[in-house]
């Protein structure tokens, strides 16, 4: 176990709704990255937060937004859900600024189904 937790584990929404996914990073980690993994594909980078600031963003529209809190936990918000948003959403934490900063540890993911 990596110590990264995500909630909820599963979620069903309808098109047009909004969703919030949550992540608690591994103790002591200061950076959280979010990835979207469609069925049968590799994870795709959504964005990264370092010390509560967005620190890089992938090719995702603005309706994907996030937050990082002072305790380094994080939220991913998706507005105006589309059918293609159905995927496993993964959170990964790391400790940037140290020898092992390239190592990202993943949580179990939240499986989102949009109907």
Binding residues for other proteins (CB under 8 A): 2, 4, 31, 33, 35, 40-45, 48, 56, 58, 90, 92, 94, 96-97, 101-109, 111
Least Å distance, CB 31 to other proteins, is 6
The residue among 40 and 62 lying less far from other proteins, judged by its C-beta, is 40
Q: How far is CA 105 from CA 61, 94, 101, in A?
A: 25, 6, 11
Query: DSSP of 3-36, one letter per residue?
Result: S-EEE-SEEEE-TT--EEEEEEPPTT--EEEEEE
- Quick check: helix, strand or coil at residue 70? coil
The residue among 67 and 96 lying less far from other proteins, judged by its C-beta, is 96
Least Å distance, CB 65 to other proteins, is 17
The residue among 10 and 71 lying less far from other proteins, judged by its C-beta, is 10
Phi/psi for 85 (5° steps) reads -80, -10
Least Å distance, CB 40 to other proteins, is 7
Least Å distance, CB 103 to other proteins, is 6
Cβ(31)–Cβ(94) under 8 Å? yes
């Amino acid at each position: 176990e990596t110590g990264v937790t995500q909630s909820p584990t599963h979620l069903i929404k309808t098109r047009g709704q909004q969703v919030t996914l949550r992540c608690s990073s591994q103790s002591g980690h200061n950076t959280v990255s979010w990835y979207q993994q469609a069925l049968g594909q590799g994870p795709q980078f959504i964005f990264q937060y370092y010390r509560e600031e967005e620190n890089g963003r992938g090719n995702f529209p603005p309706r994907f937004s996030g937050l990082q809190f002072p305790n380094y936990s994080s939220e991913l918000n998706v507005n105006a859900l589309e059918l293609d948003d159905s995927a496993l959403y993964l959170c990964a934490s790391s400790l940037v600024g140290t020898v092992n900063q390239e190592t990202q540890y993943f949580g179990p993911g939240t499986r989102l189904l949009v109907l």
